[in-house]
Amino acid sequence: MMGIYPSYYEVNGEKKQIIGTQFETTFARQAFPCVDEPEAKATFDLALKFDEHEGETVLANMPEKKVEDGVHYFDTTVKMSTYLVAFAFGELQGKQTTTKSGVQVGVFGTKAHKANELDFALDIAKRSIEFYEDFYQTPYPLPHSWQLALPDFSAGAMENWGLVTYREAYLLLDPDNTALDMKQLVATVISHELAHQWFGDLVTMKWWDDLWLNESFANMMEYVAIDALEPDWHIWEMFQTSDVPAALQRDATDGVQSVHVSVEDPAEIELCLIARSFTLRVRGCWSWCGH
């Protein structure tokens, strides 16, 4: 589930697939020739052609500008790191809204889900972007912010600029039949990834050994944002009873890996991911990526 890969799901017993991407940390090089390092930012002109069928949706970091001879062309991106480039296509359903500043916000998932399972995430995403624009005093830098649930996804979520990808369980939920603690979890995951749209995407670490700072700031901001959006949740109490004890328990272990890990080879980047995953956040069954 790295580089460009298929996700599989079923609708009415029929097996289907959608194509998505995961380029963090150094998997963009599997898709196109590039200097695949966080400091090396560039603009990208993306064009996609695939075995397209009627009714399929195509998503990318930037809005689609035209389709010619079956090729989908997208607007030129702002300067960005390769690990944040993303695209996806397949039979998707989506819902959209617009922030007060005019940013288009959308939530997308497969048609294996009910339409109302997109509503909660759409509301949290919209209000999170509005909160961060005010908090950072910096406008959201792109025309849109798509949130996409992938059926097969190795991480919890990934902050691709303009096309954030999620494990389905961390984005889609039935608002009428979901416990509050799960709503809180989904909300903090969304606000975490959207915090990265500024801190991580707009302002990026020079090298992977500072990934801990990128993630620790987003870990804090997810609580700051949700506390502002849903004060009745008392979200800081969850932070004190879950994240803090877990981090302290691991830090008390003899020989625990340090947060800041030297990176001299691409194979060593995973050590940084492990460090941020378990030292900065330990919650439930989240996998290697600490989002």
Each residue's pLDDT expressed in tens, for the chain with a length of 291 residues? 999 999 999 999 999 999 999 999 999 999 999 999 999 999 999 999 999 999 999 999 999 999 999 999 999 999 999 999 999 999 999 999 999 999 999 999 999 999 999 999 999 999 999 999 999 999 999 999 999 999 999 989 999 999 999 999 999 999 999 999 999 999 999 999 999 999 999 999 999 988 888 888 999 999 999 999 999 999 999 999 988 898 888 888 888 777 777 888 877 776 666 555 444 444 433 333 333
For the chain, how many structural domains are there in total? 1
pLDDT at residue number 213: 85
**pLDDT given at position 273:** 64
**Where in the sequence numbering do the catalytic residues fall?**
193
Range of the domain at 262: 7-280
Within a domain: 156: yes
27 torsion bin: left (phi>0), alpha (psi -120 to 50), beta (else): alpha
- Whether 187 is covered by a domain: the verdict is yes
Structural contact between residues 161 and 197, judged by C-beta atoms closer than 8 angstroms = yes
User: 285 lies in a domain?
Assistant: no
Note whether 94 and 106 are within 8 A (CB). yes
Q: Is residue 48 in some structural domain? A: yes
Residue 90 lies in a domain: yes
Whether the model pTM is above 0.95: no
The CATH number given to whatever domain includes residue 112 is 1.10.390.10
- What span, in angstroms and rounded, lies between the C-alpha atoms of 278 and 289? 9
User: How many whole angstroms separate alpha carbon 204 and alpha carbon 142?
Assistant: 16
Assigned domain for 154 exists: yes
Question: Is residue 288 one of the residues assigned to a domain?
Answer: no
Domain membership flag for residue 287: no
